[in-house]
Amino acid sequence: MSVCIIDGKEYRIEIAKTPFATEWLRLFNNKSLPVKARYDTNAYEKLYKVLNLHKDFFKKIKLQSLSNVSENDLWDRKKLQELHLEIVTFQKNYKKSTEMANINTNNDWDYIHAKNY
């Protein structure tokens, strides 16, 4: 398995066997590439803050995944799918659930659903 080093940390990665990856490795293997800009984490930070702010409400309405989110969960694609499924299932099972959730979260419910993809 290949290793990618970012900010001095080693990450094990799997490189796809594609013409693009082959050419990329030919050009850049064992080279340091400068970072042009910092990764923008504003959306992630706001989503975590909003989820944390309303976790007691989510516990009350039995949305376990939304009430137990850790910071790292929002970087995990499977966890995001689980959160989104919980939101969609809740909205499907309860009429006017979106309206009720928005009232109780000061319209943050719409933000959570929109950002949780």
Residue 54 burial (CB count, 10 A): 21
The string of pLDDT tens digits covering residues 78-114 is: 998 999 999 999 999 998 998 999 999 999 998 888 7
pTM of whole model > 0.75? Answer: no
Alpha-carbon distance values, 41 to 32, 50, 99 (Å): 23, 14, 29
Give mean pLDDT, residues 9-28.
Answer: 88
Task: Identify the pLDDT of residue 61.
Answer: 93
CA distance 28 to 115: 34
Handedness of CA 106, 108, 113, 114 (dihedral sign): positive
Question: Could you tell me the CA-to-CA distances from 38 to 10, 46, 62 in Å, in that order?
Answer: 18, 17, 37
Q: Give residue limits of the domains in the chain.
A: 42-115
pLDDT higher than threshold 60 for residue 116? no
Residue 6: the pLDDT is 79
More confident residue, 29 or 55: 55
SS3 13: strand
